[in-house]
Amino acid sequence: MKHVVVIGSGIAGLIAAVEAARSHRVTLLTKSTLGESNTHYAQGGIAAVTSTEDSIASHVADTIDAGNGLCWPPAVDVLCSEGPQRIADLVSFGVDFDRSAGEFARGLEAAHSHARILHAGGDATGAGISAALVAAVTARVTDVREHDFVIKLLTDETPHGSRRVVRGVRILTSNGPEDIEADAVILASGGAGQLYRHTTNPAVTTGDGIALAFRAGAVLADVEFYQFHPTALAVPGSFLISEAVRGEGAVLINDAGERFMTAVDPRAELAPRDVVARAIQREMLAQGGQPVLLDATGLGAEFLAKRFPSINAACTRYGLDWARNPIPVTPAAHYWMGGVATDTFGRTSVEGLFAVGEVACTGTHGANRLASNSLLESVVFSHRAVAALDDPWPADPPSVRWVDQPPLAHLRISAPGKDKTVPTEVVDRVELQTLMWDHVGLARDAGGLQTARERIAGWRPAKKKHRMFPDWEDANLLLLAHAVTEAALARQESRGAHYRLDFPETTPGSARPIVLVQKGD
């Protein structure tokens, strides 16, 4: 029996904890409350093949098409082929997916060739999944620690010195720092939506796990690819308007009342997210920065209230009647395709360290995630990581992908503030978020990226001995902003969610990952 530390309590962490607890001792750590994560707020659903009209091959093809040449086929095959069984697992945990005439109610979302999106509670899929898994974890995992922040992965060198091996974690508690020894650590701490001024992500998404892994010597990949959801309600807090709304027939119009997506892509509102988001951005620029409008009035008040109760309630809360009037929407940072590079079992380049969910870069999403594949990726690869806990550690797991896709660039970077010859000031989170939104967001160019690089170089995190939770988060965000900016500068083409105004074309020979390691590793 091993001692396994799981970091994070979204779907990836909850699945990892409950599955590992069947045969190992598990400690589950979360910096907030159990279940507070992106998963809880996920609206649209989870994509998987659950009907005879659909096929695994079709799901694979749709995923690879959306990924714009950068998907790793072995990982996509795993995702799609194991998806149906993992849906059955969720049902066994008590997830009550919506049904119609005794079968799963399946929705259609952008870039899917079949209606394969399962949902629960209309648009409360994430909350339903989270609640069921939290109950399972509470019943099976005895060591759950809330409000404890992981500040370091403890590592040793392997005997032959070729790589590092994880031996535990250091956490910051209300009583000060504490070390926890572990035989394996599973990172499931989510993404980093708080890098950007406008995001659909909750406040806890500060990229802590990715930063921890990077500092411990793990390889990162694809970090320049940040997906912006096309339709967030243009109100404080950027409430997400699910892609499923457009899947049901809602359309996008500009302030002149004209539908514009039909002239952009033959799939119109159901084109891949990067296409829709950039089209909205262009319309907003043409109308002085004002949001575009999502017109769902044709769906009817009764349908909207039943199919999308959470969105319906949010609209009411903001004084909007979306059954009668179009609602204002704008793109917002939503999902990070990049992260800690792994193999198809979640293994990283640090022995004993696994990464699953949004913290990981499995290669399944490529340059642009297919809608509703993220929850599926979390449950599939968390299950596989637990299955590999007792297996021998391979020589260099993430390098499996590089055999098929040799890196486009191999960047070695250090955390901002390390160069003592450069005058620095303590990073301000709001200024960092604004900088990233303005220069490393939906559309990028060399000038803006250089501006971001120079400003980031002038910041440093607060001194460690004085750091509280938010200061550790700021240190992580600053490091990851540096990583995203450097990777975005290195990729001199446009591909998927990475769009360069100065390099608008996609270069066939550049369909390869950019990898990053800490300088000195």
**What are the 10-residue block averages of pLDDT along the chain, 521 residues in total?**
96 98 98 84 88 97 96 98 98 95 90 93 89 96 96 86 89 94 98 95 95 97 96 89 92 97 95 89 92 97 95 95 97 96 97 98 96 96 98 86 90 88 89 96 96 96 92 98 98 96 96 93 65
Q: Which CATH architecture has domain 232-331?
A: Alpha-Beta Complex (3.90)
Instruction: Calculate the CA 359 to chain-centre distance.
Output: 7
From residue 119, alpha-carbon distances to 47, 125, 209, 369 in Å are: 9, 5, 28, 18
Tokens of 106: 């399946």
Q: Which amino acid is at 479?
A: L
DSSP letters spanning 201-222: S-TT-S-HHHHHHHHTT--EE-
> Distance between CA 246 and CA 255 in Å, rounded?
18
State residue 521's pLDDT score. Answer: 65
The residue ranges of every structural domain in the chain are 3-148+344-402, 220-225+413-518, 232-331
Q: 292-295 and 176-181: which strand pairing? A: unpaired
Query: Using the 8-state DSSP alphabet, how is residue 49 labeled?
Result: -
State residue 103's pLDDT score. Answer: 93
Q: 103-104 and 339-341: which strand pairing? A: unpaired
Model pTM score = 0.93
- Of the candidates 369, 9, 395, the one whose C-alpha atom is nearest the C-alpha of residue 186 is 9
Contact indicator for 518, 413 with CB cutoff of 8 Å: yes
Q: 425-426 and 409-413: which strand pairing? A: unpaired
- Give CATH for domain 3-148+344-402: 3.50.50.60
Alpha helices (H) along 195-327? 208-215, 243-247, 273-286, 301-307, 309-317
Contact indicator for 364, 71 with CB cutoff of 8 Å: yes
Query: Quick check: is 273 catalytic?
Result: yes
The fold for domain 220-225+413-518 equals Methane Monooxygenase Hydroxylase; Chain G, domain 1 (1.20.58)
Residues in the chain: 521
Evaluate whether 3-148+344-402 and 220-225+413-518 have a shared fold: no
Phi-psi region of 18 (alpha: psi -120 to 50; beta: other; left: phi over 0): alpha
DSSP run (H or E) holding 127? helix 125-140
| Catalytic residue (one of 273, 278, 369, 401) | 273
Contact indicator for 221, 398 with CB cutoff of 8 Å: yes
State residue 423's pLDDT score. Answer: 75
